[in-house]
Structures are given as structure tokens and as C-alpha cells.
Structure 1
Amino acid sequence: MDISCERLPEIFNIAAYFIEGSLSRGHSERIAFYYRDETYTYRTVRSYVRRAATLLSELGLDREDRIAILLPDTPEFIFAFWGAIWAGAVPVPINTACSIDDIQYIIQNCRAKILLTSQEWHEKLTLGTEFLRDVLLVDGETPFLSRLDQTSEEATPSRTSPCEPAFWLYTSGSTGRPKGVVHMHSSMVVSAQRYGKDIVGLHENDITYSIAKMPFAYGLGNTLYMTMAVGAASVLSDAANAFDIIADLHRYQPTVLFGVPSTYASILAVKEMAPLETPRLRLCLSAAEQLPKTIWTRWLQAYGYEICEGIGTTELLHIFLSNRPGECQPGSSGFPVPGYEVEILDDQGYPVKVGEIGTLQVTGKSLMLGYWNRIEETRKVIYGNSIRTGDQYQCDAEGFFWFMGRKDDLFKVNGQWTSPFEIEEVLLQHESLLDVAIVPQTDAQEVLPYVVAFVTLKAGFTASSELEDGIRRFAKSRLPHFKAPKAIHFLDKLPRTPTGKIHRKALGTKLALVRAL
């Protein structure tokens, strides 16, 4: 099925499409969301969304105006997000894992007219912006839900177009200021069909649990629109660690787990203290970062589930490369999702040969309109209907795609291009290591690069020179000598971006500081 703006109705509102569609399919009394001790049916969601649209309109939020939503995954987030789109306005979710500086930048950069947040966040922010007119709070004397309860449901869906902006998502900003990615009303339809239905096989009896939160493109699909597209239910969670996540999984018994590599590793690390018991679980998935084969194998051995790894980008909204249930190739990103054309190109823009490394280019109908107010950066990555992601990949003879890192992740050691993931995969097989990140360092003459490892330890292990020597010997026994780490640094926790990826730039800064001392 071809899904594009041209094949959708000329008047098309994605909020009404999913919400009214769920009721027309007989899902009105089905649970849409679990949140703590509360449940919200599709009928209830529709009522609150219409009330939110009415309230936002009364507050002067006009068509195409932006509302910034700075919240964890909560019902208020959902009502405001869909309510804004219903009214023809544009919601801009902000990840609460972002720095204060980046949050304030996003609010100013997107020219938000309204901010929805909590008292705690409001007190942390300095909101001196010429655009912001109102701040709505989810707690305090007049919480957002109470205001909705006193508002009518009279709002009708705005007569928007499938090709006009519906919502923005900001990139994590690990290499600079976050960029506002502008998506159309049609983008969610594409991702819900191509990945949610065609790959994951979501259906109305599913309950999904996502580690990634809704301001993150991966989490937005997992928790919000993909489930609503089929009448399924999602869990809204504020779990902060592996024990909380395991407690949630036991409590809600989801059928689909949308995970990230670090969470799978953390759950495995505590399995003796808190074993996972999820008899209803049918599928485990992973994205956001490369899933080490070691973690994949341990998870299968411990719990009997494959982990279907995939890759997506904020610019394409969700997953475009994915392994298939029952056909996983551990360590790979799988095959192209139906509806997406994926190529690996050299620096001149020509397809590389099988097994060669090049830059990933993806063509698909969920492609962003562009980066807000960054025309030059948009033109550098978009080529017609395609985008060059900057990810370095190779494709094997069977058609599996293998992630080699970002272009600036690769480095030369002993004259050979080296991917950090190859070394990390080996080190993670050591019994003491929970998390690993590899970065290059140069010698005092700035000539000869060598490998440096930053590691975190599992419970029961303590950093020592003896353990460092043991890890280094382990690496040398399994890797070419020049790929074994010359230096190993123990950390309590690896730095990560707001979307959960290892922050290699921050580790490079740590190395520079150590060297300066």
C-alpha cells in the first residue's frame, strides 16, 4: 500500500484520524493508556483531547502556533499533544533529560506561545522570551486536568492538510544545539503502517511498554500513535531504574517491550535479585543505539526472547531498518522496512560494493519537511525525497545492514579504520563489565592513535589495577593487539545524550581534561 500526502484526503487532521478512527472501530471502551493506578479508555482520551483543543484555543493558541510540552510520559502530555493538533496548532515535546540550557533554548527557538510543564520545572527555568504568553501547570492550585474538566468538548478538528506541519521533535543535540525537526500530519500514518503494523504486527489486544519516552521519536511511536492506530494500550511509566522497570513489567504484563540496549543490559545485570516474569510478552525490540550481540545472546539465554533490533532517526520519525521476528541476525540492523529504500553510498554519492563501508541514504514517505530555521543544514542532508543520515553502514551478501558508527566515530589505528562497536562487543563479554564505550586517543606527539576504554562495572566488582590488567589481557586474547585498549578508565556511569546514546564527545572532553592534568 502506497501511503503519501497525495493519497490522503485533502483535508486531514492526524489527531482526528487516530482518535475518531479508534471509536469508529468499536474501541471506545477499550483501555488506551495505563498510568499508575489509573486507566484511560479511548472515549475518555477523546473527551480530554477535545477539551484541551478548546482550552488552548481560548488561550489564544492559533493555527500553526507552537505549544511546548515539558513533561514525563503522563496523560496530560497526551491530551495536550493531540489537543494542539486537533486545534491546528503544533505541539513541541521537550525531553526532560535535556539540560536546562537546552530546554530554554528549545522554548525560545520554537517560539512557543504556551508552555505546559510542572511547578518544579517552572521554578528551574528562566523564561524571558518574547513569544511565550502562558504557562500551564499540571500541579498546583489550578492543575491542567482540573481546567480541562471545566472546559467544554465543543472543539471540532481543524481543517488541516496532510502535508502541513503537525508537530516538531528536537534532536538530542550531542554535536551542537538541538535542531527542530518538522513533521507533517501524514508522517505518523506512514510509520504506524510500515513499522507498527507490517513489522511489529501490533493489534488491538497488545499492551506496549516503551523505555524511550514520548519526546523521543522512537518513544512517541511506541507509546502514542502506533498503538492508537490499532486500538491497543500503552503503559505510561516514570520508571527510573532496572528494578522499577521490572516492577512495571510484572504489574502491567505488556505483550510488546520497546527497549534500548542499556536497559536490556541493566535488567540482565540484576536478574539474580529480580528475575523477569512476563508470560504475556510476545516480542522484544530495540533501537536508539547499537545492540551488542553479547546482550542479545544473554537475553535469549536468560528469558527465551529474541530482541528485534532496528534503527530510525528523528528526521524519518521512526524505524526504517529492522530485524524480523524469528529471523533476527544478532548485531545487525536487519533489512529495510517495507516502503523505505535504503542505500549505502560512497563520498561521491555512488552505491558501494557488498561489504564496503559507506554513508546510509534513506528514501521514505515519513521524511521530515526540514529543520526549523536551518535551511543550510537541511540542504546538506536532504536530496530530493532522500536523506543522508551520516551513519556509516555496510551490507553483507545476505542483505543484512550492519552499523559501523557515525562518520566521526570511526578512527584509524595501525593504519586501519576501526569501529568502536567491534571492540565494545568483545569487552562486554568480560564477566565484570556492564557498559563500555571506546574512543581514540593520540600519543604525546599527536601522531599515533590508540584505543581507550571507558567502562562501568557490574555489582560485586571493584575497580583496581588488577582488574584493569585482567580486562586488557582479555581484550588482547580476542582482538588484534592494536585494537586492545591501551588505557581503561572506570566510571560510575557512562555519559549519555537525552535519547540514551553514549555521549562520545563528552568522553573525548574527559580525555582532554585528563591529559591536560
Structure 2
Amino acid sequence: MQAIGPDVASLSDLVHQLARRFDEQPAFGHLGARISFADLDRLSRRFAAWVQHETDLKPGDRIVLQLPNIMQYPVVLFGARRAGLVVVNANPLYSCEEMCQQLRDSGARAIVAFAPVPVELTQCLASTAVEYLVTTELGDLHPPLRRCGLNLLARLKRRGMRPVLLSTRRAAGVRQIALTAVMQKGSKLIWQPSESTGIEASLALLQYTGGTTGPAKGAMLTEAALLANLTQLQALISQYCVPGQERLLQPLPLYHIYSFTLTLLMLSLGAYIELVPDPRRVRGLVRCWDRLDPTVLAGINPLFVNLCRQPEFQRLDFSSLKLTVSGGMSLTRAVAARWHAVTGKDICEGYGLTECSPVVSVNCPDAIRLGTVGKPLVQTDVHIVDDCGHVLPPGESGNIRIRGPQLMSGYWHQRHETETVLQDGWLDTGDIGLIDHDGYLRVIDRRKEVINVSGFKVYPSELEDVIACHPDIVECAVVGLPDSNRGEQIKLYVVPANQQLSIREVREYCRERLTAYKVPRSVEFCQRLPRTAIGKVSRRDLRDRALQGQRVH
């Protein structure tokens, strides 16, 4: 049995073909309930029919999905695309200010949000273009009795054990409707495939970058780019996975492009995907693993650390696990070694950017080179260039440039930013790296985060990789701070595993393994590090706090 191939013309065609091929096999599930490929096809048609017949939304209009990892997400995603809407992914944990900024920038006319919707967000909708607010609760796609129980339990937890009703406050001019009502109405309506101007011009996602080095920008990803990346990844993964027989455990948020595309990839293989709404509950994640016995896991460095520290996880059977995929941030050698010691499996680290839909390169399971992010995908060109744009030979570090069919078409309403990073079909990634003599790509660091100490370049990721190998350190982060004598000085943040660990021991460990100018000038211990939506350590936040004289708790 083959995977859904490159003949798929759209995401709508993808879900239709999957339903025909895999029918009643389970596609998605969470918290004990599942929907089949046929259910996904049917329910997404209902949502699309509601959009076409019950709203004045037109193809090309933006719809925001502000949902955690629940089955409603893929239903609404495919339903929105079937109606020709452009999907804007949003973090459910955004503050009202962050959410309103994204709504205004995208010009979204509709939003699907997790209930209860904060009153502050409802009030601010009046200052946006939003006309339709669709709400959904945790158990809305579960069987009736379980749905009621899950929804009630979720409300009790969110309100400190006091039962509450969903917010009924409405912003002027905004129509609010429950997703369950949308599905009921859509079941009586007929969806008609929307007319398109062609796949090359069909914008599918407005995917906002994390804004770790500046204000968030909306990367415009077409269906052509998404499907190209999907086809590239299928060419790589098909030799390791069997269509219709894989099980993906997905604790990473689907609103992030890394987990979005990996989930789409496994779905195209007919895999069952177990969604984890809250991966911060690590013990619950371990129990989920025990029940599912996954063949594929999507993760990032901190998640691997947290899992390996759980005694219950260490006792699990990992014989079914075929692929452990890492992305979104650098994988440290210490974490890779610990994962292998616990599971007996290696981690396949990859590299990507929102602007690349997102995958650029990945280590193949049978050809992993630790410390690299593998070789570029098929039809993907990667050049290492100097500051003048001249291509550098293998082994020399410089700026990473990328060319391929998975590139974005530009940043939403930001022509200058687009022209800055996209030139002659090449994307300037803002990353520094090198390609070795065997064609493996190594990403050294973000260009903007390189520390200049007395004229010497210091790469934070290099230091973190070395320091994280200390047996009494859970994780660490390095930032550069202004220094009147040296230009910049290095500050190290450490999350200790042993409370007896001292700053002196840490600095001595660094002196033994690092050149003198790379040894951190100051060290601060903390209980946890600030993170972005995907779980990546936010160096920007750490630097801002240090400049303001604030400690990290």
C-alpha cells in the first residue's frame, strides 16, 4: 500500500482520498475518543457547508483557529480549506492583547476558539474585522455522555471547582455560535467545492512566526508549498513507515508549523494520531504512551528531558517505536544520549523554518549524524554564503540560504521584510551553519544571537551543548549582555538537577572544557526557563530580564 502521492491537488483532495482509502480506520483521537478518516471527511464537509450557506465568508477570507490539540482542530482545518478560507493558527495561551494584534494584522473575519472565551477577548473583537465567533469545548466530538462529563470537568478545573456557564457576552456585530450547532446545521446542507484561481496562487495558511528575534510576521504558505513539503517528506519516510499501520503520539501543539506538517505527513500515510491537549502533564503523557504504544513520536529537547526523568517512562516497552523526531530547537548531545540510554532508540533531528513550510533537512533513521540536522530534502538547495553572498566551500561556516518549492510566497502585508529575506528565489534564513564534506547540514546558531566577546564570536548553542552534559544540570541557556570593556559578556542560566550544585562548580566545569573567552562571566540558577509556544527556550526573554535586573524563578 502506497502513501497518498504528489497527484493530490489540494488539502481537500487529500482528506477525500484518505477517506476512500482508509475509511473507518481511526485518524485522530484524544482522551479516549476517536474519529475515523470517514468521520474527518464527513465532518469537515459539514463545516465547509455551514461556511458556504450560513455565512457571507468568501474564499480568501481569513479564519483564526485558536485551539489546543483536540479532534476539532483537524475537522475545522480541513473544513475551512474546503470552503476556500485561509487558516490563521493561533496559540490558545495568547494574552488578549496578543490575540487582538494577530486578529487585526491578519484581518480575520472569523475565529474558532476554545470555550469559555475570555470576556476581555470578546470585548476586543469589536475593534477587529471578526464577524463570526465559533466556540467549542473539550469533549464536543466525544460520545454524548462522555462529552457532558468532560466539558463539565473542564469548566470546574478552569474556575476552581465552581460550575460556570459559557460566556454569553457578545461583541457588537459578532455572531457567536457553538461548533456543535455548526455541525448540526451543516449536516442538512450540501458543500460545493470552491472555485480556485489555481494551486500556485491558493493561500492556505497565514502562519505567524514566533517573533523570538522581533515582532511576529505572518508567513504566507500556499497549498503548493505545503503539499511540496509533504511530498518531499514522504519520499524520505516511506521506507521506514507502513501506510495504515503507524501510530503517532503528538504532544506538540498543532498550531505550530513543525507539528502541523509532521501531523499532516503521518495522516497522509493513514496513521492514527493521538493528540495530547496538555503535554505539560508529563505523567499523563506517559500513561497515554503506555496505552497507545506509539511507533512515531514528535518532540523537542525539553520534552525528551522531562520524559526521561520519569521513572514510569523508564519502565515502558519501546520495541514498537520506529521514529523519534526532533525539531523546533537544537537537540543537545546530552539529551540524545539520555534518550538512547532509556529507550534504546536514536532521535532524528531535523531543521526547518516557518518560511519553509517548514522542513529543510532531516537525519534519516539509519544514517544519523549527531550534531547535524541531516541532508537537505529532495528538490531543496542549501547554500552557505559569506556576508557578501559568495558561496562557501564545505566545512566553512556562514549564512544559510535555501531554495525549494516549499518556500513561502512572502510575509503578509510586509513588502520590505519580504524583499529583505527573499531574493532571486533564495531565502536568507538568518541562521549560521555549515555543510560538511558528506553533505550534512549543521546549524550553529541564529545570526542575531551570536555573542561578540572582545571581537571573538561565541555561539550560544555551542556552549549550551557542552554545559548541558554536566550530570547535575537539567538544562541551560546562554545570552549575551552589553559590556563596556569586552563588547558583550556571557551570562549562563542553569536549571540544576542537584540543589547542592554551586556556581563555582559550574564555572570550573566550563573552564575545563571551553576556551577562556567562552566561559560565562555570570551564572544564575533558576527552577525553569521561559519558553516560546512550542517549548523552545526564549533567549530574548532571558536577555530582557537580565537587562532589567530581574531574576528568573
Q: TM-score, normalised by structure 2?
A: 0.86
User: Are the aligned partners of 2:314 and 2:342 in contact in 1 as well (CA < 8 Å)?
Assistant: no
Shift of residue 348, structure 1, vs aligned partner: 1.1
Q: What's the CA shift string for 1:101-154, capped at 9, x where partnerless?
A: 222111111111111112333434122334111211114496313430342251
Give the C-alpha shift of residue 42 in structure 1.
Answer: 0.7
Question: Is residue 136 from structure 1 mapped to residue 134 from structure 2 by the alignment?
Answer: yes
Answering whether residue 221 of structure 2 is matched by residue 183 of structure 1, we say yes
Distance 1:78 1:131, change over 3 A: same
Name the residue aligned to 2:511: 476
Q: 1:415: how far off?
A: 3.5
- Among 8, 12, 17, the alignment partner of 1:16 is 12
1:267 Cα offset (Å) = 1.4
Task: For 1:244-323, list aligned pairs within 5 A.
Answer: 244-271=284-311, 275-323=315-363
Q: Which amino acid aligns with 1:455?
A: V
Q: Distance in 2 between matches of 1:404 and 1:106?
A: 31
Contact residue 199 and residue 337 of structure 1 kept, 8 A:
no
In 1, distance between residues paired with 2:314 and 2:292? 16
1:171 aligns with 2:209: yes
Instruction: Note closer, same or farther for the CA distance 1:515–1:33 as it changes in structure 2 (3 Å cut).
Output: closer
Corresponding residue for 1:338?
Answer: 378
Is the 1:346–1:358 Cα contact (8 Å) retained in structure 2? yes
Counterpart Cα distance in 2 of 1:317 and 1:420: 26
Match of residue 156 from structure 1: 192
CA distance in 2, matches of 1:504, 1:248: 31
Aligned to 1:242: 282
Q: C-alpha distance in 2, partners of 1:362/1:457?
A: 38
Match of residue 44, structure 1, among 39, 43, 50: 39
* C-alpha RMSD of matched pairs (Å): 2.1
Partner AA of 2:465 in structure 1? E
**Cα distance in 2 between the residues matched to 1:169 and 1:404:** 25
Aligned counterpart, 1:4: none
The gaps in structure 1 that reach 5 residues or longer are 1-6
Does residue 376 of structure 1 match 2:416?
yes
**Which residue number corresponds to residue 113 of structure 1?**
109
Residue 497 to residue 99, structure 1, CA distance change in 2 (3 Å): farther
Contact conserved, 1:210 with 1:222, CA < 8 A, in 2? no
Give per-residue Cα distances to partners, 1:24-70, cap 9 Å, x unaligned: 3x211111111211111011111100000011221221111111111
**Equivalent in 403, 417, 436 of residue 443 of structure 2:** 403
Distance 1:276 1:428 in 2: 25
Aligned to 2:74: 78
Indicate how the Cα distance of structure 1 residues 99 and 353 shifts in structure 2: closer, same or farther if over 3 A, else same: farther
Match of 1:357 in 2: 397
Give 1:478's aligned amino acid: R
Question: 2:250·2:259 contact (CA, 8 Å) conserved in 1?
Answer: yes
1:59 aligns with 55
Rounded to whole Å, the distance in 1 between the matches of 2:262 and 2:249 is 8
SS in 2 for 1:306: coil
Once the two structures are superposed, residues 220-268 of structure 1 have per-residue CA deviations (whole angstroms, 9 ceiling, x without a partner) of 1122x21232222211111323323222211222111111111111112
| Aligned positions, number | 500
Q: 1:55 to 1:209 in 2, by over 3 A?
A: same
**Contact between 1:191 and 1:317, CA under 8 Å: does it hold in 2?**
yes
Confirm or deny: 8 A CA contact 1:246 1:274 kept in the other structure: no
| Structure-1 separation of matches of 2:215 and 2:98 | 7
> What SS does the corresponding residue of 2:253 show, helix, strand or coil?
coil
Provide the residue aligned with 1:232 in structure 2: 271
- 2:391 match: secondary structure: coil
Q: Secondary structure at the match of 2:43?
A: helix
Per the alignment, residue 254 of structure 2 pairs with: 214
Q: Distance in 2 between matches of 1:121 and 1:347?
A: 48
Shift of 1:418: 1.4
Q: Give the 3-state SS of the residue equivalent to 2:46 in structure 1.
A: helix
Three-state SS of the structure 2 residue aligned to 1:394 is strand
The secondary structure found in structure 2 opposite 1:234 is strand
The alpha-carbon distance between structure 1 residues 515 and 23, as it changes in their structure 2 partners (threshold 3 A), is: closer
What pairs with 1:429-468 in structure 2 (closer than 5 Å)?
429-443=469-483, 445-458=484-497, 461-462=498-499, 467-468=502-503
- The structural deviation recorded for 1:324 is 0.9
> What secondary structure sits across from 1:17 in the alignment?
helix
1: CA distance, partners of 2:319 / 2:93: 32
Is the Cα contact below 8 Å between 2:530 and 2:538 reproduced in 1?
Answer: yes
* 1:189-227 deviation digits (Å, cap 9, x = unpaired): 21222114423644221111233211111111122x212
Structure 1 letter corresponding to 2:530 = P
**Residue 492 (str. 1) matches residue 516 (str. 2):** no
Cα distance change of structure 1 residues 221 and 277 upon mapping to structure 2, 3 Å threshold = same
2:451·2:490 contact (CA, 8 Å) conserved in 1? no
String of CA shifts for 1:165-188, please: whole Å, max 9, x gaps: 122111111233321111112222
CA distance in 2, matches of 1:175, 1:199: 32
Where does residue 144 of structure 2 map in the other structure? Answer: none
The match for 2:158 is none
Give 1:313 deviation, angstroms: 0.8
CA distance in 2, matches of 1:131, 1:194: 37
- Using the TM superposition, give the Cα deviation of residue 486 of structure 1 relative to its aligned residue in structure 2, in angstroms: 2.2
User: How many angstroms does 1:494 deviate by?
Assistant: 0.9
Identity of aligned residues (%): 23
Give the stretch that moved more between structures: 48-57 or 87-96.
87-96
SS of the residue aligned with 1:495?
A: coil
Q: Which structure 2 residue ranges, 5 or more long, are not aligned?
A: 1-5, 138-165, 169-176
Contact 2:286 2:312 in 1 (8 A): no
- Report deviation, 1:451: 2.0
1:156 shift after superposition: 2.3
Judged with a 3 Å threshold, the aligned counterparts in structure 2 of structure 1 residues 129 and 274 are, in CA distance, closer, same or farther, namely farther
